[in-house]
């Protein structure tokens, strides 16, 4: 797929506003800029991976629903991957648990993990720590970095 910038250069060439030589120089400059951007992104990802090595985002949901139906969920995601894993938590938790959490005002899909990862590194308390105890439901939900 051709980028918008490259397409503009080709359109200018087609219209005769620039020469083939000028078009080639512009396309080379665009490619050099794209390579530099990819390199910087790669360096940042490597730096993030090194800085967050060994740290994990953990999600635990334990308890009972409908009186005696046992729920035990334990999800662990390397923190460096969590940056790119919005909604992974909500997708790993069983639907009936998500429904129950939702009825209690907790929507795990609203955790914007990618936006919070930098904060997680130095966080010394739980991100979510909720005890739900009503009618036939007793759940403990904990989201934290270890």
Task: Summarize pLDDT for 52-101 with one digit per residue, the tens.
Answer: 677 788 889 998 888 688 989 898 878 777 666 666 667 777 888 888 88
Domain range for 140? 56-145
104 and 71 in one domain? Answer: yes
- How does DSSP classify residue 109? G
Query: What whole-number distance in Å separates Cα of residue 41 and Cα of residue 123?
Result: 25
60 and 46 in one domain? Answer: no
Query: What whole-number distance in Å separates Cα of residue 26 and Cα of residue 45?
Result: 29
Query: What pLDDT band is residue 17 in, cutting at 50, 70 and 90?
Result: very high
First and final C-alpha spacing in the chain = 41
Counting the structural domains of the chain, the total is: 2
117 and 132 in one domain? Answer: yes
88 and 75 in one domain? Answer: yes
78 and 10 in one domain? Answer: no
Structure tokens at 111: 């955790």
27 and 80 in one domain? Answer: no
């Amino acid at each position: 797929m051709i980028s918008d910038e490259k397409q503009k250069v080709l359109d200018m060439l087609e219209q005769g506003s620039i020469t083939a030589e000028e078009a080639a120089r512009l396309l080379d400059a665009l490619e050099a800029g794209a390579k530099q951007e990819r390199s910087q992104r790669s360096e940042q990802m490597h730096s993030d991976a090194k800085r967050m090595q060994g740290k994990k985002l953990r999600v635990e949901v334990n308890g009972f629903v409908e009186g005696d139906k046992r729920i035990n969920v334990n999800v662990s995601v390397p923190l460096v991957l969590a940056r790119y894993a919005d909604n992974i938590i909500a997708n790993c938790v069983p639907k009936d648990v998500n429904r129950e959490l939702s009825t209690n005002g907790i929507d795990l899909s609203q955790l914007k993990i990618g936006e919070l990862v930098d904060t997680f590194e130095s966080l010394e308390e739980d991100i979510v720590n909720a005890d739900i105890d009503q009618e036939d439901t007793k759940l403990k939900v904990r989201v934290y970095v270890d």
